[in-house]
Structure 1
Amino acid sequence: MILDQPLKKWFASKKGTDSNLKSIAKSISWRIVGTLDTMVISYIITGQLVMAVSIGSVEVVTKILLYYVHERVWENVTKTKKDEPEAELVRS
């Protein structure tokens, strides 16, 4: 691929890990793929293009909101309490 190396340099941070820009780009591209999938499935089931696009349009908004709520719930479930000591991993 011609753009392979320039894209890698643009999206990689100095530490060799993915940059925030790459994570945002991946999130947006994944949402586009997911919405197109929903539209195709909706079209196959309903046979109506307008209905499929309508379902896909609603799905974009609801999936973003559901993902946000999902992340907040996971954050609250997995965070350690101030009084709770952090678990220590013991190697044997």
Structure 2
Amino acid sequence: METRARTLVKAILWSLLGLVTMSLVGLALTGSAMLGGGMAAINTGIGLVLYLIYERVWTLVRWGRNV
């Protein structure tokens, strides 16, 4: 079983990677660092919350575990 702290650290690191990637995509598509960064920040916030929920739900699923 994974601890909440490990899930949180994984989620934050994944979100930071996504933030950088989405900022670059947003900049490339809009030509504006401000607009691209804003879109990326919103996406990252939503993604972080959803990822945390997703990971915690999967800790409850016993399927596929070798216990």
Q: Which has the higher helix share?
A: 2
Q: Which structure's CA Rg is the greater one?
A: 1
SS in 1 for 2:50: helix
Equivalenced residues, count: 60
Q: Label 1:74 to 1:27 Cα distance change in 2 as closer, same or farther (>3 A).
A: closer
- Matched residue, 2:61: 77
**Equivalent in the alignment of 1:38:** 22
Unaligned runs of 5+ in 1: 1-19, 80-86
Scaled by the length of structure 2, the TM-score of the pair is 0.62
User: Which of the pair has the greater relative contact order for Cα pairs under 8 Å at 6+ separation?
Assistant: 2
- What is the alpha-carbon root mean square deviation over aligned residues? 3.1
For structure 2, which runs of at least 5 residues remain unmatched after alignment? none
Q: Please state how far the C-alpha of 1:66 moved relative to its aligned partner.
A: 0.9
